[in-house]
Structure formats: structure tokens, C-alpha cells
Amino acid sequence: MKISFEKGGVLRKLSVFASVSVMTGALLLVSAPSASAAGSGCQVDGAVGSWSGSWASSTRIDPLSLYVADVSADGHHPAVRLITRNNAGAIKSWSWHHIYGGNGDAKVWNTFASDSNGIAAATVEVAVFEGDDWLVADYCSWIYR
């Protein structure tokens, strides 16, 4: 866009105003989220876990990241899983994601969740396991769509 510096400054002011308006509009288009972001995290003895994601629709969280870390040299291993509540209030427990590397190990799983019955709320359950049996587990804060 050409900026004119004619006497009186009227054309200059209009050109600068138009340039700022175009740039502001472009920034709004670039930064406008297509879905609302969400997430929560918590800790149990020996593990920390969290989730983050975006409500892509009333039935889908996409993208979805699940995180768990082992924070104790206790010989046990941590795991994390997504827990969702559908529009009717029913709870769905998704599959566990385990790590086995010992104290200091951590992992992120990048995925999505889709439920034809809807996803009204989500959290994660963080647990510490001995073999296939969990020793301690807790839910993080529920986040509602």
C-alpha cells in the first residue's frame, strides 16, 4: 500500500489508518483459535501427569497430548489415561499409557479423542503401578467444554 505525504496530511493519515487496519485484521485471522484450548495436571506419590488439548467439537478433542513422568526412585512405574464424561454424564476411561524407564523418565503421547456420545468434560487419571496393579491413583481437575 502506498503512503502519500501530501500537504495537509489527510491522505497520509488515511493511508496509515488503512495499513494498520489491514495488519490488525490479518493478525486476528492468524491468531483466532479454531477450537478452545484446555488441560489439567496433578501429582500422586511417585508420578506427575497432565493433559492438554483443544475442543475440536462437542464429540472430539484434537489435538490431545497426554503426559506422565516418574518422579520417585521407588521401583514402581507410572501411567496416565484420559477420562471423559459424555453429554449424558457417563464416564469413559480410556487406555493406560505406561512408562518403565525409572525415576526421571517422562513421555508425551500426541493423539486425539473422539466419542459419538459427546465429550462434555475431560481429565486424566495418574497412577503408580506395581506390575499390572495400581498402587495409588488420582484424577486431575475436570475441565468442561
- Tens digit of pLDDT for each residue in 67-121? 999 999 999 999 999 999 999 999 999 999 999 999 999 999 999 999 999 999 9
Average pLDDT, the chain: 83
What mean pLDDT is predicted for residues 1-26? 36
Three cell numbers at 42? 496433578
The verdict on 67 and 131 lying in the same domain is yes
Q: Where does the pLDDT of residue 34 fall: very low under 50, low under 70, confident under 90, or very high at 90 and above?
A: low
The verdict on 56 and 124 lying in the same domain is yes
The verdict on 68 and 127 lying in the same domain is yes
Q: Where does the pLDDT of residue 46 fall: very low under 50, low under 70, confident under 90, or very high at 90 and above?
A: very high
**Residue 30 contacts by C-beta under 8 Å, 6 or more apart in sequence?**
none
Three cell numbers at 106? 517422562
The verdict on 133 and 77 lying in the same domain is yes
The verdict on 13 and 56 lying in the same domain is no
Q: Is the pLDDT of residue 43 over 60?
A: yes
Q: Is the pLDDT of residue 8 over 90?
A: no
71 or 13, which is more confident = 71
Domain residues for the domain of 25 are 1-32
The verdict on 101 and 113 lying in the same domain is yes
The verdict on 22 and 47 lying in the same domain is no
The verdict on 40 and 59 lying in the same domain is yes
What mean pLDDT is predicted for residues 12-36? 39
Q: Is the pLDDT of residue 61 over 80?
A: yes
What mean pLDDT is predicted for residues 54-71? 98
Q: Where does the pLDDT of residue 35 fall: very low under 50, low under 70, confident under 90, or very high at 90 and above?
A: confident
Helices (H), 3-143: 10-31
Q: How many structural domains comprise the chain?
A: 2
> According to the model, what pLDDT value does residue 10 have?
41
**What b-and-e string marks burial along 73-112, b requiring 16 or more CB atoms within 10 Å of the CB?**
eeebbbbbbbbbbbeeeeeeebebbebeeeeeeebeeeee
The verdict on 69 and 112 lying in the same domain is yes
CATH number at residue 129: 2.60.40.1470
The verdict on 21 and 47 lying in the same domain is no
The verdict on 95 and 132 lying in the same domain is yes
Q: Is the pLDDT of residue 1 over 70?
A: no
